Structure 1
């Protein structure tokens, strides 16, 4: 634990907001150094469109050897300077600091869990393998790392995602995640015709009016009975108060539990037609496939059995609306279990925190699950 907490403090103090590529590269340097010290080898450094990702491949080089993928990210949502208002601290068993819950604690757990298999000549992985992939752009949708994640996941026995655990519906912390909604993003663009709003408004074609109509139509695509949400978010229209707006646009966030629902929504957006005569066009589509419970159930049952062997009582697993890189691994058909990282709360918020006492048993669970999956 002292070594884990020391590593975690160093990572939290090395701020790494996703959009600051210099900060992400600096964070990757630190993750690399920590990993090399714990794992005994340096990672491959993969820079894609300026974003720095790290990959360790441990154990057997045989492509047919059973392999587990440990998936983590080292970028955070907190801008440089956040440490001044949210300093690193440990008090009364609670650890705080920018990115501690999402997901630097999970990253440290992944490194130290993998290290238990990497000691000694050949380690404990003579006939099996572990890949530890640490990406640098998860918080912005993994635009540069998606292909890498999918490539590393294919053929694996399972993907274990070190995102933080969640709370059950009745507020019990520490729940693993067996489902995540898929994410689709759309932008609806509207082109009308400008005119003077006071002297000849009838000569204009009001893009704001068309926008209002289309927002109403889009809201009708949602289906709460199957967990599909359709939420208009950012909207823009007009130039001045005395001009009939010629252009407007709005963005839409869609979350769905199944690929079939994502496909239905995609087809629905393709049917949008003008109500006023303005031109309506749609851009976007599926960003992340869903992590459906069918992809997690087998690994979840193994985690339950392993936890009982450790004397742990895990709370019921949960399905959440937020996405992670586990959506991608499930999307290529790999068994995926998420939420194996920190227990705490407050992701992206002022009260972000981690329960220190939960780090050792959760790391022990991760090690035992890897052993079980690899047949050790």
Structure 2
């Protein structure tokens, strides 16, 4: 039996497993839901793969825990299969948006980002073993805080990727293409503190923080440089206590995306140099670079060529793409290690109500992983 034939025969059971995971909601900020979701994921892996040779669970605190499962191979080395089980969808979303499959399209909260990918990773390991293919050892790592920047899981992801032959990230693809380049992400908050005063009785006594922030927003937004791959978005703004009060406090939240490490330094200097025209007004900036850029390093480029060769041997063409979103693959790439992202589902609508997966592509993506991991042996 070929890898493709095996994967297509497995599709009905894979769809059942995807339904199981989607119907256990896992919002990033709902610890109880994350605990239930990880239990369902662990049980699913154990059912399909048997007990792991090694199991490690890292406490996520108020976020989702990190689970690592290791299965031995028949050849030296190890491959990391990485995926997050948290979603952006608040608990209760399933009530008016249930899991469904119709006309070859599968929908439901988190089905594309990225519960289909989790199932594909598990079934790829099952396929390697069931088909008797040579393969390195496999480490599955599931984290529950990716959608909020992986504040707890980052060191575990980085540690798990060290010394591996490859790291495969089961985030959704871009219309089938692997994501070999991703932008780095910076999340910053600008706080402006002024002097409150009555807007009618004593306007000169006030130093309006909102007015000052309005001027700074223009300067912040001008820091974007699309020609360099840098975008700056002021997505949140708040302040003031009343129409007739010179605002004493105003804040804005800023999302920065960069393709080049040098741009991080330039943006840092931009924020460090923010000052208001009125000397009575103070400006402070908090936040950090949540993820570095993911740029194609030589080991990753070689790994992509290997994946292309596997796809060609299976009868289809694999392409690569650069995207603006970030993932845990950014951390691994920044270490200079081989990583491929977008191994997961084919579909569209991440973080949107039209989130969906094209069912016919699930066997193909699973077969790609089976073939690639075996080739690494």
Query: So what's the TM-score if we normalise by structure 1?
Result: 0.92
Runs of 4+ in 1 over 6 A off after TM superposition: none
| Equivalent-residue separation in structure 2 for 1:130 and 1:58 (angstroms) | 5
Report which stretch shifted further, 24-33 or 269-278.
269-278
Equivalent residues of 1:58, 1:118 under 8 A apart? no
Equivalent residues of 2:193, 2:209 under 8 A apart? yes
Quote how far apart the aligned CAs of 1:46 are: 2.3
126, 133, 140: which one aligns with 1:132: 140
Quote how far apart the aligned CAs of 1:163 are: 0.5
Match of 1:170 in 2: none
**Within 5 A, what are the aligned runs for 1:217-366?**
217-277=219-279, 278-294=281-297, 296-314=300-318, 316-366=319-369
Could you report, residue by residue, the CA deviation over 1:200-220 in whole angstroms, capped at 9, with x for unpaired residues? Answer: 111111111210111111122
Quote how far apart the aligned CAs of 1:191 are: 1.1
| Equivalent-residue separation in structure 2 for 1:130 and 1:208 (angstroms) | 54
Q: Does 1:26 align with 2:71?
A: no
| Equivalent-residue separation in structure 2 for 1:95 and 1:354 (angstroms) | 5
What runs of 5+ residues in structure 2 fail to find an aligned partner?
A: 1-10
Q: Does 1:10 align with 2:55?
A: no
Structure-2 change in CA distance of 1:105 and 1:120 (3 Å):
closer
143, 167, 170: which one aligns with 1:159: 167
Could you report, residue by residue, the CA deviation over 1:166-223 in whole angstroms, capped at 9, with x for unpaired residues? Answer: 1xxxxxx211111110000111111111111001111111111210111111122111
SS of 1:273's equivalent in the other structure is coil
**Within 5 A, what are the aligned runs for 1:100-249?**
100-118=111-129, 124-125=134-135, 128-166=136-174, 173-249=175-251
Structure-2 change in CA distance of 1:60 and 1:304 (3 Å):
closer
Quote how far apart the aligned CAs of 1:61 are: 12
**Within 5 A, what are the aligned runs for 1:59-78?**
59=72, 65-78=76-89
| Equivalent-residue separation in structure 2 for 1:203 and 1:177 (angstroms) | 55
Equivalent residues of 2:182, 2:330 under 8 A apart? yes
Report which stretch shifted further, 214-223 or 359-368.
214-223
| Equivalent-residue separation in structure 1 for 2:194 and 2:89 (angstroms) | 39
Equivalent residues of 2:134, 2:374 under 8 A apart? no
Quote how far apart the aligned CAs of 1:66 are: 2.2
Number of aligned pairs? 362
Q: Does 1:90 align with 2:92?
A: no
| Equivalent-residue separation in structure 1 for 2:134 and 2:153 (angstroms) | 29
40, 65, 72: which one aligns with 2:50: 40
Quote how far apart the aligned CAs of 1:263 are: 2.1
Quote how far apart the aligned CAs of 1:120 are: 10
SS of 2:140's equivalent in the other structure is strand
SS of 2:297's equivalent in the other structure is helix
Quote how far apart the aligned CAs of 1:124 are: 4.5
Equivalent residues of 1:233, 1:250 under 8 A apart? yes
